[in-house]
Structure 1
């Protein structure tokens, strides 16, 4: 449990419990992320990674505890303010695949445009910067359904970046990608966090990649829910009990999991 947020915290979570209605999924979650940090939420299937992320993104209510963004409780923000503080990329298929890539990217500026959605010079500049950063120029006129999974994921990340929020949340951003593209996406998220000074937090099954690339990690296990730098989590043996010991073991020297034969 973290008693109080620091002046440098962008995302501060204290004694948070998440679930659906009165159905508790994960209790007692506490962590904080500062500007420029990349964080990962890891854990076994069904432990509540996506439930936590959806709660942080204000898609469902918390059961108890606190969620603070820039020193203010999330519930104190109105919807438009939340849209300027948090952007979210979920695993659900997008409903706008018939839009062109540029049209989908432009939707990221909705919290800031007028009621007819007119883009100002500042909006265009932010969109163009993200197009350059994510290397999307060759795809702007394509429909989203024409993109590969990896290309579409880059577009969705760009749209979240275009929303220009302090916090970017992503649910399983490397799903359905091969190893090369998984690494490419996670390294991209790392560079975005470090270069744009934003907090980026994602859920993942790619624990070994997260250990290598993340500044901080949260291991959901339903009890301790350890949070720290990857090297300190390894030192504290927090990964050792993540999976059944008779099947999978964690090698602290290599930061990888090994199958017991």
Structure 2
């Protein structure tokens, strides 16, 4: 089973967001902002382009907080490299120095082949992690993820505290998992296949380009969530390839 990924053609892997504010070059300096798993993030590149992906979680190393997303969200595109990461509003800077960022992107999203698709970037001091997911967003090209529909989604979907991280072997075929994404908000569906050797899941779940990086998780009886993996690639909008979150990269905890 193959899930086409657009890591090689970023225009298809994430929604290109050139809002009026970005086009005019307006960008707010680092400031206090709360970020949640499943939130939209905007990755700015050295050629001026910005792409939408989804924050998976926030991990730590040496007292520094790092945002985690899909590897292809921070990979170079031609000669352009990522230079900053913005919050969902495309104006609030949450990572302005990417020298300590990195990504792992190898293999492909076939369940018989290893897949690693994870990236990390240091968060500015003003970015505070909510330790939860609040339903994702509905990212509309040229409008963005901040609008009344996204607000409604976050009001309707319960905020889920993140209880921890689990390996892909914690789920079985047929089990229901959910994802919070920046493009299609919160959707749930059954696991189709688990590959413990390569750390991958295949899930029947609604997802679109821009949900890349989103947390895929199980729900506990108390409503909290255990993050299993990272939304990596989708086919036909209903088949999602998931890369296991564990082990966390680069010594993060």
| Structure of larger gyration radius | 1
Same-fold call, TM > 0.5? no
Q: Whose strand fraction is larger, Structure 1's or Structure 2's?
A: 2
Q: Whose helix fraction is larger, Structure 1's or Structure 2's?
A: 1
TM-score (norm 1): 0.28
TM-score (norm 2): 0.28
Identify the structure with bigger relative contact order (alpha carbons < 8 Å, sequence gap 6+): 1
